Amino acid sequence: MTSSPTTPTSLLRLLATFLRQHWRAYIASAAMLAGIALLIVWIPRQVGHVVDGLVAGSLRGPALLLPLAQLAAAGLAIYLLRVGWRMALFRAAYGLGRQLRTRLYERLTLQGPAFFQASRTGDLMALATNDIDAIEMAAGDALLAAFDGSLTLVLVLAMMTLGVDWRLGLAALVPFPLMAFAFWKVSNQVHLAWQGSLARFSALNQHVQEGLAGVRTIRALGLVARNTGQFGELAEAAGEASYRAQRWEAAYEPAVGMTLGLGLAIALGAGGWLVARGELSIGQLTSFTMYLSQLIWPMFAAGWVLSLLERGRAAWARLGPLLDAPLTLADTGSAEVPPGAALQFEQLRFAYPEAGRPALDGLTLALPPGGTLGLVGPTGAGKSTVLRLLLRQFEPEAGRILLDGRPLPEYRLESLRHAIAWVPQEPFLFSASVAENIALAAPGATRAQVEQAARLAAVDEDIRRLPQGYETEVGERGVTLSGGQRQRVAIARALLAGSPILLLDDALSAVDTGTETQILAHLRELRAAHPGRSEIIVSHRLSAVMDADHIAVLRGGRITEQGSHAELLEANGWYAQQWRYQQLEASIEAA
């Protein structure tokens, strides 16, 4: 999904757009609410007739049964209509929540790493839950309560002034401008209070997410008490912010109560005077006081609607800009990646935001179809950055990457990423079975294919020793597996994907040298069986790249040495020194 110029810029425009899309559900709900309102205003008038009939003695015995049955039928009809409008309305309102969550999720999946480096995970989760819930309530409860309250208010006022006595009606409405002023003042404070509440909830959500993700580190460093204390402070701040918002919302009720109480006092005083003068019957006064009591709901509805709209407006102010945020990487290409494509890196220059120096500076390399490129060098040399630019997680500041002679932006992002199987330094496993994690990129793979990929990654025996074998749940982020097992499961997943380009970003760092040798041998066999498959291996362990067709040594973002394993040893530079050191280290460990 790309940014759309038609995305509503305010909550009311969003609700108007949604209402037009689902007008049938809203019309049905409005029709049922109109029926309820008509019945509600009819009941006091019917009660007034019954009271006058009882006073006059015209309603006795069987004659009284019909109007009472009509009142009972009206009560039952109101109940059924209330159930009906809620079913019609909330199905539509929940649809808005579903739409917004889908749009948010799609938007996030298209954003690049630069976006997520500037965003907090907990805040994004809060937007997908708390904020969208607030917008959903504005589309459901608020809209229909506004319609219901307004219609009831108009009908009740009409019956009070036209159906009973206009003088009494005007007298009872004298205090209402004071309530309107109070509502205006309170609604401004409610908006500010909910802005603060949503922000506090996001901060609490972020702390919980970070705490759970880093629970092992927190325990290892003895920071449990400190982390718990911070959580308590954030929870207290979130609770206080929510309480502040609820406290301002509660201010609507006293304004309604005082207004209606004052209006009732005026109505009873004026009504008693009119009854005494013979200008109003007792039944009419009874009907009027019942109508006045029915103004409680429209008044409370007004406060409730204002509260829900202010809450939704505060939420949309946070969510709307995110849905409209430009993508950090434009997906404007149309070409499909062909199999067996050559790779070229031409004069690449790139610096991470706020970095003091470029991560890559003038890097030029070539990888023919079916070739293997090894990238080595000290930490921070720019090895992983090469892979991230190839994956189009970032765009180079200068230079370009060509695939089959075309710049990467000319390819569709989806096609490019299907063509590349990437095993990062810290592989991510989902809360699913081992088999499901391996088959993630090939959901139609058979169990035999999954097991074959596991054997190639030298993890099959480890999996079979698990409690349920391939059906063992690995837990969130693969927490039940060791680091080496997670890496090998990720390698098996990449191999099963069958992509023409395989990227291993220090993906063998957590396995022993014997397992590494076994995996590298299997990769050589796969290259022989699939001549067009290319590989780029990033590693600190030089034994992982010794069989590569070409090896480049990066230092400070530049290539300082390159050639085959034998050529680099003969050059006696950084690569040769590291090779001798690592061989000595391995021999000491073996002894």
DSSP output for 343-408:
EEEEEEEE--TT-SS-SEEEEEEEE-TT-EEEEE-STTSSHHHHHHHHTTSS--SEEEEEETTEEG
- Going by C-alpha positions, the residue among 413, 417, 459 that lies closest to residue 438 is 459
Neighbouring-strand partners of residue 406: 403
Q: Are residues 478 and 525 in the same domain?
A: no
Judge whether 459 lies within some domain. yes
Judge whether 8 lies within some domain. no
Q: What is the mean pLDDT of residues 416-432?
A: 86
Q: Does the pLDDT at position 2 exceed 60?
A: no
Q: Are residues 233 and 251 in the same domain?
A: yes
Length of the chain: 591
Q: Are residues 93 and 123 in the same domain?
A: yes
Neighbouring-strand partners of residue 225: none
Give the pLDDT of residue 42.
Answer: 77
- pLDDT band, very low/low/confident/very high, at 50 (cuts 50, 70, 90): confident
Give the pLDDT of residue 4.
Answer: 41
Q: What is the tally of structural domains in the chain?
A: 3
Judge whether 257 lies within some domain. yes
Q: Which domain holds residue 474?
A: 423-498
Q: Are residues 175 and 30 in the same domain?
A: yes
Judge whether 537 lies within some domain. yes
> Which tens digits make up the pLDDT trace of 104-141?
888 888 787 777 777 777 778 888 887 888 888 887 77
Judge whether 334 lies within some domain. no
The CATH number assigned to the domain holding 270 equals: 1.20.1560.10
Instruction: Give the highest mean pLDDT range of 221-230, 245-254, 558-567.
Output: 558-567
How far CA 390 is from CA of 225, 394, 502, in Å, comes to 43, 8, 11
Judge whether 282 lies within some domain. yes
313 contacts 191 by C-beta, under 8 angstroms: yes
246 contacts 173 by C-beta, under 8 angstroms: no
Backbone angles phi and psi of 394, in degrees to 5: -135, 160
Beta carbons within 8 Å of 282's beta carbon, 6+ residues apart: 51, 52, 55, 275
pTM over the 0.75 mark: no
Judge whether 155 lies within some domain. yes
Q: Are residues 443 and 572 in the same domain?
A: no
Angle CA 561–533–545, to nearest 5 = 30
Give the pLDDT of residue 380.
Answer: 86
Q: Are residues 235 and 133 in the same domain?
A: yes
Q: Are residues 389 and 427 in the same domain?
A: no
- pLDDT band, very low/low/confident/very high, at 294 (cuts 50, 70, 90): low
The CATH number assigned to the domain holding 370 equals: 3.40.50.300
Q: Are residues 243 and 287 in the same domain?
A: yes
Structure tokens that stand for 67 in this block: 């109007």
Q: Are residues 155 and 236 in the same domain?
A: yes
Q: Are residues 192 and 275 in the same domain?
A: yes
Q: Are residues 252 and 270 in the same domain?
A: yes
- Going by C-alpha positions, the residue among 457, 544, 441 that lies closest to residue 492 is 457
Q: Are residues 194 and 71 in the same domain?
A: yes
DSSP labels for 140-162? Answer: IIIHHHHHHHHHHHHHHHHIIII
- pLDDT band, very low/low/confident/very high, at 5 (cuts 50, 70, 90): very low
Q: Which amino acid is at 419?
A: A
Judge whether 338 lies within some domain. no
Give the pLDDT of residue 354.
Answer: 74
Structure tokens that stand for 578 in this block: 């590291």
- pLDDT band, very low/low/confident/very high, at 15 (cuts 50, 70, 90): confident
